[in-house]
Structure 1
């Protein structure tokens, strides 16, 4: 047994202390055999750092995914709340006192416009998130138009080749024509804002002319005599000392003209839609008995006594000084127009034979109420042409308020938003 112990000691010594006759390669091989599993199990410092970085990246990815899920959940809850408001007619108590669906959607579009473009007071691109929100929520609110259809006759062939006439559903004609046009106008306005990515002018807040608000510290403020002091929240446009270049001026004029044309197109669509909506009974019941009570003595006398009526001359004589006065005059003229039309219809409620004779002889053209109604209509038309930024009249507001046709209310509110948007952003010459 002692021999075995001595032999094992000799083997241990040979392994721990190699003989001088052994080559370096043999020594290395002998040393690596028992340490190889340990070396494989160990990690280098670089590998440990990479592992920690990988864990951090994985953690960041998880945090980003959680943040995205939280944002989606918040947005989903917000959309659920808005959808419930649409279903309940903005009456969250559920007591049944809400407005009709058409008015609810109109108010939702108007509120969406105010939240997206209400604070956008500069000629600069709209923020990406706001632009995405505008497009997404408008698509959601206008999706109801996909279900406003009408039956259209069409031809269909049976299996034996026999042609038969069937009724197919298609989008209602006014929505089919107006809604794509309004979407195109909306896209043109967004593209117009995107064109002001790099400009020679900039803005400073009202009353702040510090160097941090300017580009070079030297600038020239644009003097606007028509700028009212009560609009102190509007930013002040500034230009370099030498003014804008000819290229920049040309670009601004072109975009201003485009905005005005877009506004005119939107207002034309708005007028056509509102004209097709029925006049509420409440508005007709609120009209006075005579048109003279609506207009006053001076305007009524001019409209009655003049053989060749000139609405432009009448507007020049009135000396309208503000938009509020113009809107009040428009309400009065419109009320008198429908008052005279109602009296003309009541005076000609005769027998069928007398009505046929009147139509044959065209006696309606000589009726005083009919003539005054036509003159009031021409005066209202000239007034709206002279003041294109005029707000909606009382009749238009009443039509939208009591309208129950979603197809007529939705496009009207969309174009109203487009009209406001266009006027708001063409204020810089």
Structure 2
């Protein structure tokens, strides 16, 4: 009875005698007063970490102690723990299923990308000739077409100032990284001094990225990132776009032939920007002006790189063979007389007198001036027996500067430069198209096509911003 009363007293204060200490068969030296401390849920501090009673008891006591403790607890706790364990197992199963589905989606996406890479690699090797008969185009043209087509796929439907779709942005980055990776293997050998262990200095050849790619490709990548950043900056804007509609006014930019507001003609599909009835705020206009200036500078940089790459491309023999015999017949008598008789030639004054009314007229004039320029250069070099155009370029410095053909060629070059500066949105001339068509240099093809698409995107951004400014000014004038 005394033992029973002692046991009840120990239970009341939260202690339980250890079954191990009360076992009569136990031969250990542990005394009968030893016990295991078990904390109930009611005595757990709200500031402490929750402890699993079953786990804590089992970690310190024998299995018999664990079963003894479970029977002494209140009857409602065991079903609660079973329900908790059931929910935990169910949640783990759901998480496991979700992880499996995610892994399957990732594998499917990876397989899809792999198939796309296989397709592009096959087209690159076949030269876009799916028959496999070897009649495809060269690698340079294939890569150039791939960059142009990728630009049309990603940005072709993007006709407004808004962030690029995340999927298209990822597609653009992934595909361009793949196409531009070719440049990592276009190298040139340069001499380098190397010191041997005995102190002797020897000259060795090391490979590095070709100089034109080393200079221009990082710049183009930077311009690319800046253009994407400009589009991303138009997240929350005060203006929006209407899919259909028009503004009853016609306007053209000075020196540009792009129609800004009329949507009922050839540009009916272009969305029309809309602004609030009170117009844009000063903060919004300041943001637009800043982004327009940035895009304009990017356009100039991309155009400069493109012109530099095109100037380094070889002129095809087919173009030289198609040149007219007389530069005067190509350029026309009025322009020829002014270029030949004037002592101080002014290309800007000549362009003002021509009154060019359309982009088609400007492009036609550029083709005729360029053809006349190379005709006069060829005549100036006819005294030399070397006919290759690369040799002609090297011999230009030896020509008499007072030669008539040389003077006309220089003036034609300055006129062509002023024409392109006045109308920067001009399409490529016949010579540029011919160079791209017959180019075999893969590095030049990548630089030319990459700079060309960035130039087009920058020009479009500037034009879209000017559309918004025009609508804003029209709305303010109506008020």
Q: Give your verdict on TM over 0.5.
A: yes
Name the residue aligned to 2:37: none
Partner Cα distance (2:78, 2:130) in 1:
68
Matched, 1:388 2:424: yes
Spell out, residue by residue over 1:68-118, the C-alpha distance to the aligned partner (whole angstroms, 9 max, x if none): 211211111011100111111111211101111111111100111111111
Give the deviation of 1:387 after TM superposition: 0.4
2:135 matched to which residue of 1? Answer: 97
> What corresponds to 2:355 in structure 1?
319
Among residues 395, 407, 416, which one is paired with 2:443 in the alignment? 407
Cα shift readout 1:402-422 (whole Å, capped 9, x = no counterpart): 111111111111010110110
Pairing 1:420–2:456 present: yes
Deviations 1:247-273 (A, max 9, x none): 110110111011111100111111111
For 1:41 and 1:195, the matched residues in 2 are separated by 57
Aligned residue for 2:370?
334
Which residue is equivalent to 1:216? Answer: none
Other structure's SS at 1:167 match: strand
Q: Do 1:222 and 1:239's aligned partners in 2 also have CA atoms closer than 8 Å?
A: no
- Select 1:188's aligned residue among 226, 248, 267: 226
Structure number with the bigger relative contact order (C-alpha 8 A, sep ≥ 6) is: 1
Structure 1 residues without counterparts, runs of 5 or longer: 1-28, 34-38, 209-220, 351-358
Residues 156-201 of structure 1: per-residue CA shift (max 9 Å, x gap)? 1112121111111111111111111111111111111111112111
Gaps of 5+ in 2: 1-66, 72-76, 252-259, 387-394, 470-479
2:261 — aligned with what? 227
Q: Which residue of 2 aligns with 1:354?
A: none
Query: In the TM superposition, what whole-angstrom CA distance separates every residue of 1:183-228 from its partner, at most 9, and x where no partner exists?
Result: 11111111111111121111121139xxxxxxxxxxxx89663423
Match of 1:140 among 178, 182, 193: 178
Where does residue 106 of structure 1 map in the other structure? 144
The answer on whether the counterparts of 2:316 and 2:438 sit within 8 Å (CA) in structure 1 is: yes
CA distance, structure 1, for counterparts of residue 79 and residue 293 of structure 2:
75
SS of equivalent residue, structure 1 residue 244? coil
The aligned residue for residue 27 of structure 2 is none
CA deviations over 1:241-300 (Å, ceiling 9, x no partner): 111111110110111011111100111111111111111111101111111221122222
SS at match of 1:198: coil
CA contact (8 A) 2:303 2:452 kept: yes
Alignment equivalent of 2:165, drawn from 127, 142, 167: 127
TM-superposed deviation, 1:55: 3.3
**1:364 alignment partner, SS class:** coil
State whether structure 2 residue 352 is matched by structure 1 residue 310.
no
Aligned 1:257-276 pairs, distance under 5 A: 257-276=293-312
Deviation at 1:56, TM superposition (A): 3.7
TM norm structure 1: 0.81
Partner of 1:284: 320
2:23 matched to which residue of 1?
Answer: none
- Equivalent pairs counted in the alignment come to 373
Q: Give the match for residue 64 of structure 1.
A: 102
Say if 2:276 is the partner of 1:240.
yes
* Counterpart check, 1:377 vs 2:413: yes
Contact 1:336 1:376 in 2 (8 A): yes
TM superposition score normalised by structure 2: 0.73
The CA distance in 2 between the partners of 1:222 and 1:66, in whole Å, is 54
Kept in 2: contact 1:222–1:238 (CA 8 A): no
Deviations for 1:132-165, whole angstroms, at most 9, x for unmatched residues?
Answer: 2211111110111111111111111112121111
Distance 1:167 1:53 in 2: 63
Cα-to-partner distance string for 1:308-332 (whole Å, 9 max, x where unaligned): 2221122112111111211111111
